[in-house]
Amino acid sequence: MTLTVSRLLQEKRKQFDLTLRHGATGLDKPIHTSELNRPGLAFAGFLGVYTHDRIQILGNTEIAYLSSLAAEDRRQRLEKALSSEYEIPCFIVTDAGAPPTELCEICDREGIPLLTTSRPTTRFWSNMTFYLEREFAPTATIHGVLMDIFGIGVLIQGSAGVGKSECGLELIERGHQLVADDVVVVKRLSKTLVVGTAVSDIQHHMEVRGLGIVDVELLFGAGSVREEKRISVVVRLERADCGFEVDRLGIDEKYTRILDVDVREFCIPLEPGRNAAILVEVAALQHRIHAKGRNPAQELNEKLIKQMERSRLV
């Protein structure tokens, strides 16, 4: 879904305290990038590297500079910076600043939305960047159940009918939080960070075979769900009779790739009587230990090798 100035206003008007002042005819202008720009140099006449395709933020510095100019000089500079040859999505004036009359007139004429906010420039810049980075992040949908277990984002995957949702339901009953069931929307926010969330229409719901659709938040309370979580571990549940090779020691760490980010993976074979929820909890805790730079299996292996070497020397 294309992000336009109109959609930005609809979704973030209250959170960012945004108010449309001028240029209402340009609300359908698209926003193409998560980057922001402060056009002080453009107002000063240097247009060589003018990043006009970004949202333009006007703080106290830009407003004070424009106010210091003579009216005719100010209009000439603004006419150049707001020329129709530039594809400016919108201007946002922060700190409840008062935009110059010339800027308001040109925005109305050129159809460039001019918005204001009472938020301080630095804080607004940070919040807007946070929002835009998620809007423009590489995105994919994957099958699985995303849980927050001991503060660790665990994506439970496996073939249809293996018991992913039932495992997730038991984990919720044990006090952990559901992020998404069945369809997980994944976004890469950096080279090493992927986060997952649910599709808005089915958020906080689970499909449990034999029971149908259940509302987790309604059944277990608001503390049983969360909106978003970083994916740190993938636990793949496999039927024991499927023929895959079981790692008995865990010395070698395994990874899977999600949107070109390596994520630690554990493969757990399921047999009658095995408690999948407890095994997934242990996988999350095992990851926490590995994240601290320790590998218990590797440490035990090195200890045994040293003992055998000492025995040979005796």
The β-bridge relationship of strands 261-270 and 233-239 is: parallel
> Of residues 32, 143, 294, 306, which has the active-site annotation?
143
Helix (H, G, I), strand (E, B) or coil at 24: helix
CA distances to 77, 79, 179 from 99, in Å: 14, 15, 43
Kindly name the residue from 14, 191, 201, 248 that is annotated as catalytic: 248
Nearest to residue 193, comparing CAs of 103, 280, 130?
130
Burial 86-118 (b: 16+ CB within 10 A, else e): bebbbbbbbbebebbebbbebbbebbbbbbbbe
Please say if 164 is a catalytic residue: yes
Q: Tell me, yes or no, if 215 is annotated catalytic.
A: no
Q: Is 287 a catalytic residue?
A: no
Is residue 187 part of the annotated active site? The answer reads no
Does residue 44 sit in helix, strand or coil? Answer: coil
Cβ neighbourhood burial of 9 (10 Å; 0-12, 13-18, 19+): middle
Tokens of 226: 């969360």
What would the two tokens of residue 256 be? Answer: 């899977």
Question: Which residues, in sequence order, are CB contacts of 304 under 8 Å at separation 6+?
Answer: none
User: Active site residue: 109, 182, 239, 288, which one?
Assistant: 182
Catalytic residue among 29, 164, 236, 287: 164
Active-site residue numbers? Answer: 143, 164, 182, 248
